[in-house]
Each structure stands twice: as C-alpha cells, then as structure tokens.
C-alpha cells in the first residue's frame, strides 16, 4: 500500500486501520445492506454509532458528569460566533487571549455581539510564545475568557491549562484535542473541529458545562443555541452522519492505542525527534516557537534563506513528504504531526531533514 507521509495541517492524516474499516463497511454497514451514509439518522443502527461516539469522548477525556458532549456542524469557525452569541451578556466583556491568527478570528466574531477585551497577547513577538498565566488580565467582570490551546499556524501550545477560576474559561482545542489528557473541569466549554485529531471535517465537538446551558439568552436562532442541541442529544436536525461514524472509528482507535495518555507519549516522542534536529542543526533550522511554548502538534521552522526554504519544500515533496509548507500567512515550513501521523513518517522526515542539512550547510 502506498500511503503518503502526510503532514497536512487539517484536514489531516487518519489512521490507516480506520480507513480500512470504513472501506470494508462501506457497502454493507452492520448487515443493514447499506452504507452508514444511507441510514436514517433516526434508525437504531445510526443511533448506536452516535451514542458510542459521545460515550467514547466522555471516557477518553474523563468528562465529568455535569458536562454535555455535543456534535455540531459549522466547524470551529461557527463556534467563534455561537460562543459570544450565547454567552456575552450586556455590561460584561468577553476576554480573548491572543496567541495567533485563530484567536484573532475568534475575537473578531465576538465584536459583533458586544464588548470585548484582550487579556493578554503575544502578537508583538509574532506569536512565538504563550503568555505566562501570571500575565493574564482576567477579572470577575468578564463574561468569559477564551484561549486557543494549540496555535496551528505558529506552532505554540499552552502547557499549563489552569487559566482562571473566577470566570468561565472557553478553549478552542481544534488542533490538539485528545492529543493529551486535559483537566476538563477547568473549562466551561471546549470546542474542536474534527479534521485534525478526531476524524474528517464536517463535525465539531463541543464539551459544555451544564450550568452554562442555563444561561439562556432569548434572541438566538434555534440552531445557534447550545440548549437546542443539548436537549436533543445532538439530533435536533440531521447530523453529519458519516463524519460522526468516522469520529467514532477514530475514537475506538485512540482507545485501542492507550487513550489520551497513550497519544501524549507517542506525540512527545514524535515531536522530540523533530525539535532535536532543529536544536542540533547549528542554526540551519530555526524553530519559530520559544522552547517552552513549543507545540507537540505543529512543528514550525525556517531555513536560513527563502531559497533554501523553497528548495527544502520542493525536495521534500519529491521525496514523498506532503503538506510541509507553512501557512500562507507566515511562510516557512510546518510539520503537523497529529495523533494519526505515524512514528515511522516522523522518523523518515527526521532523516530527510538531517540529510538535507548535511548537503546544504
């Protein structure tokens, strides 16, 4: 089988075993004589898939009893709007910690719905670091505080998630959900588009504390209210059934591979292979992120010149490494090494980086 070394930032690599199961079950799922895509979303066969996915999220992330797990549509980007729409009350400010382009986009949407503030920002350092917890300006008057736990474009990641205790903390975990155990109880809402660590695009995971659901605002369209989805077990309207089936398969795979803790140790090992090459390259490769803010999911780096960056990317592509271009807004190189990217692929990239450096330094 000829599977690429896939370092795409999202949609991203999926476990081969999961794709094989989907292939096997495509024409006849669970002896129904049809694919899961052709089932009614009100059928028992589909509901079992749906409920297993929700249960697995709860198990794998140790979600406490007083939280709901929702499976929504619209990507993480719709959450940027739904959050302030539902939770930004008059007289309070929504507090955004800016650590990259996705936090900026989240803030931009909140401005449509009320007052906002910036509780900390690392923009001045071109988003090389995550602000220290002691530098966050969070007050009891804030409607909530919003963080982006992993910054896909800049390659930084929050190491300490004890952000605040006096106000609801909301986290965009699109690019590191289920890559490590997390203290769910420190958050009032966690959301993530599926297409990096959880499955294909089309489904968005939301983990929401029940007390936030009682915080009802009146003037919100039905589909954009969290309560609508919570009351109907995310079956108020037709859910993205195939994406949820794939999510369920990926969650089973995570469980079979050691759960969140198993993912964390694999991810540490993979990331350290690449950071080691960067750190031992005598400045040939320069990491974008400050060492203590480095992401285990997106390794961002530059070569000494734009020409070498380009040559590296061209040669890497020819050698079968896909998706190493940095995001179009920052350039350079980025290796996205989400849960499903294998250790073998990362080792192959490590060797490629070493031999490229040997030839060009």
Question: Residue 95 or 103: which CB sits closer to ligand PMP?
Answer: 103
Question: Residue 71 or 353: which CB sits closer to ligand PMP?
Answer: 71
Question: Residue 111 or 210: which CB sits closer to ligand PMP?
Answer: 111
Which range in 13-21, 35-43, 85-93, 167-175 contacts ligand PMP by CB under 6 A?
167-175
From CA 11, how far away is CA 24, in angstroms rounded? Answer: 22
Is 241 known to sit in a ligand binding site?
no
- Min CB(102)–ligand PMP separation in Å: 4
Based on the shown chain and the rule CB under 6 A, indicate whether residue 297 belongs to the binding site for ligand PMP. Answer: no
The long-range contacts involving 210-213, CB below 8 angstroms and separated by at least 24 positions, are 210/66, 210/67, 210/68, 211/66, 212/87, 212/168, 212/188, 213/68
Based on the shown chain and the rule CB under 6 A, indicate whether residue 293 belongs to the binding site for ligand PMP. Answer: no
Is 305 known to sit in a ligand binding site?
no
Based on the shown chain and the rule CB under 6 A, indicate whether residue 174 belongs to the binding site for ligand PMP. Answer: yes
Please answer whether residues 287 and 275 qualify as being in contact, where contact means their C-beta atoms are separated by less than 8 angstroms: yes
Based on the shown chain and the rule CB under 6 A, indicate whether residue 337 belongs to the binding site for ligand PMP. Answer: no
Based on the shown chain and the rule CB under 6 A, indicate whether residue 142 belongs to the binding site for ligand PMP. Answer: no
CB-hemisphere CA count at 13 Å for 80? Answer: 20
Residues 82 to 111 in contact with ligand PMP, rule: CB under 6 A: 102
Pull the structure tokens for residue 280: 């031992």
Question: Residue 109 or 172: which CB sits closer to ligand PMP?
Answer: 172
- Min CB(49)–ligand PMP separation in Å: 21
Residues 26 to 85 in contact with ligand PMP, rule: CB under 6 A: 75-77
CA distances from 91 to 15, 87, 211, 212 (A): 47, 12, 20, 18
Question: Residue 284 or 293: which CB sits closer to ligand PMP?
Answer: 293
Based on the shown chain and the rule CB under 6 A, indicate whether residue 10 belongs to the binding site for ligand PMP. Answer: yes
- Which residues lie below 8 Å from residue 114, measured CB to CB, with a gap of 6+? 84, 88, 89, 90, 92, 93, 94, 143
From CA 53, how far away is CA 271, in angstroms rounded? Answer: 28
Please answer whether residues 328 and 312 qualify as being in contact, where contact means their C-beta atoms are separated by less than 8 angstroms: no
Is 225 known to sit in a ligand binding site?
no
Please report, in range form, the residues annotated as the binding site for L-glutamate.
42
For binding to ligand PMP (CB under 6 A), which residues are involved?
10, 75-77, 102, 148, 152, 172, 174-175, 193
């Amino acid at each position: 089988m000829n599977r690429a070394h896939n370092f795409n930032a999202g949609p991203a690599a999926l476990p081969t075993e999961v794709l094989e199961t989907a292939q096997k079950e495509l024409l006849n799922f669970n002896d129904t004589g049809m694919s899961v895509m052709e089932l009614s979303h009100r059928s028992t066969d589909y509901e079992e898939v749906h409920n297993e996915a929700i249960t697995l999220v709860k198990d794998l992330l140790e979600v406490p009893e007083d939280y709901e797990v929702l499976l929504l549509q619209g990507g993480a980007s719709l959450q940027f709007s739904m959050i302030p729409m539902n939770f930004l009350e008059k007289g309070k400010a929504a507090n955004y910690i800016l650590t990259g382009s996705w936090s900026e986009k989240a803030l931009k949407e909140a401005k449509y719905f009320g007052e906002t503030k910036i509780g900390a920002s690392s923009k001045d350092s071109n988003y090389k670091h995550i602000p220290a917890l002691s530098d966050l300006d969070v007050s009891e008057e804030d409607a909530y505080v919003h963080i982006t736990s992993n910054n896909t474009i800049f390659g930084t990641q929050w190491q300490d998630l004890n952000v605040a205790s006096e106000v609801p903390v909301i986290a965009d975990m699109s690019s590191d959900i289920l890559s490590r155990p997390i203290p769910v109880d420190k958050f009032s809402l966690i959301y993530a588009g599926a297409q990096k660590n959880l499955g294909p695009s089309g489904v968005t995971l939301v983990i929401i504390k029940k007390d936030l659901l009682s915080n009802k605002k009146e003037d919100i369209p039905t589909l954009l209210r969290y309560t609508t989805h919570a009351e109907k077990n995310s079956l108020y309207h037709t859910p993205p059934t195939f994406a949820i089936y794939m999510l369920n398969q990926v969650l089973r795979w995570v469980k079979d591979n050691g759960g969140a803790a198993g993912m964390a140790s694999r991810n540490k090992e993979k990331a350290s292979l690449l950071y080691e090459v960067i750190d031992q390259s005598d400045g040939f490769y320069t990491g974008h992120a400050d060492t203590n803010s480095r992401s285990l999911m997106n390794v961002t780096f530059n070569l000494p010149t734009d020409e070498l960056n380009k040559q590296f990317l061209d040669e890497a592509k020819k050698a079968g490494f896909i998706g190493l271009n940095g995001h179009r807004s920052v350039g350079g190189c980025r290796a996205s090494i989400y849960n499903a990217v294998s250790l073998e692929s990362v080792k192959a990239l490590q060797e490629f980086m070493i031999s490229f450096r040997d030839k060009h330094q």
